[in-house]
Chains A and B, each alone.
Chain A
Amino acid sequence: MSRSFQFKSNTNAAALALAAAVMLVPANLLPVLDTQTSGDNRSDTIFSGAAALWHNGLWAIAVIVFTASIVIPVLKLAGLGWLLLAMRRPNPANPGRLTRIYAAIDFIGRWSMLDVFLAAFLTGLIRFGEFSTVVAREGIVAFAAAVVLTVLATQAFDPKAIWRNEPAPAHSPP
């Protein structure tokens, strides 16, 4: 006898969030881009890339990259963890706040793809042989996997379950 697969479940969301958290480790430790410019070779992780932008005076860009690539993925996973822990209670406290957290996680998740698009664009454009070359490295694959897993974890979480024990408003339709 076969059971139909239910994608929206807290178990699936927890498994996907855990997988995303695991993938964030190589994503942040391995290099994401190798840059070779006029004999100067450097290999950047996500953090060192943002730090290099900061040291070059591109503060606003450094903040954007740091926020999109480090802060948002961590915040998303922390938020998902909070939601999943709250759902373990029979009556989740403050469902309105939990729903707002979920909506925020759902909205900000897309911006984590910034570094992936950045790596793809630079790899395609900067190919001048020995003068200047940018090559994407394995760290960006791990990072993209973490982003996709986080998005899937967010989609697997069912926000309607937050309200399962809350009474409907008095003027709702039957």
Chain B
Amino acid sequence: MGNPAHLTCHLCGQDHLPAPLVTGEMALCARCGAVMEKGARFGPDAAFAFSVTGLVLAVPAALLPFISAGKLGNERMSHLLTGVGALWDNGMRMLALLVLLCGCILPVVLLAAIALAHVPECLGWRPGARAELARVVRTLEHACIPEVQVLAVLVALMKLGSVVEVTIGPAFWFYCAMALAAIMAQQSFNLEPPVPPSGPDAPQSP
């Protein structure tokens, strides 16, 4: 574990002194070349804005009709959690929980963690709170995969084209927008808070 005053490469463990990055700049590890931080493309509060946007979009994505399918006069409407319920009813409860976690709960938790990580400075929380939330974000980003669920739905829609009549509901678009907001929030979120200019040991930038 690196010195908390330093920026530690998550791949090789090399410590670096943090340096302020301007828009479009990336901090690369001097040893392994991994991207450690990116300059905020949309300003310092972009991660907060994207995460709050994602949280707002998650509500209609969960409540409104997702996709409806029709066959010989019968119509069936599904919501975001309908598939989870069907797997649960089929006795595949662990699988249902996995889909629920990766597609619904963890994206919301990740967005909330990113939003909360920007609160401490405003509310005077203890200094370590941001670092802890940053660790939560780093851990969750592997399991938070709404974009994969979006791709799965698109594949399913192509597959179903000849079998049933499919109508896309508003919740699907809200879910796509939430997935995009989650990606943008992750991309804009830096583990370290902005720091003043420092010495010559700053990470490289291309």
Contact = CB atoms under 8 A, between A and B. Distances in A.
Interface of A: 37, 53, 56, 58, 61, 64-65, 95-96, 99, 102-103, 106, 109-111, 113-128, 131-132, 135-136, 140-141, 144, 148, 151, 155, 159-160, 162-163, 166, 168-169, 171-173
B198 to A, nearest CB: 10
A4 to B, nearest CB: 15
Contact of A160 (B11, B151, B200): B11
Contacts of B98: 116, 144, 148
Nearest to B33: A96
30 contacts: A37-B163, A56-B162, A58-B158, A61-B155, A61-B158, A64-B155, A110-B148, A113-B145, A113-B148, A115-B152, A120-B84, A121-B78, A122-B156, A123-B86, A125-B82, A126-B163, A127-B76, A128-B69, A128-B74, A128-B76, A128-B164, A132-B71, A132-B163, A136-B87, A140-B92, A141-B92, A148-B98, A171-B201, A173-B3, A173-B15
Q: What 4 A-B pairs have minimum CB-CB distances, sorted nearest first?
A: A124-B83, A117-B152, A120-B83, A160-B13
B99 interface: yes
B32 A58 contact: no
Given A132-B71, A162-B12, A114 B92 contact: no
A109 B145 CA distance: 10
A160 to B, nearest CB: 4
Given A141-B95, A148-B98, A168 B14 contact: yes
| Interface-centre pick from A140, A162, A173 (highest chain B CB count, 10 A) | A173
A172 B16 contact: yes
Contacts of A163: 12-14, 31-32
Identify the interface centre among A114, A115, A118, A135: most chain B CB within 10 Å of its CB.
A118
Interface of B: 3, 6, 11-17, 30-34, 67, 69, 71-72, 74, 76, 78, 82-87, 90, 92, 94-96, 98-99, 102-103, 142-143, 145, 148-149, 151-153, 155-156, 158-160, 162-164, 200-201
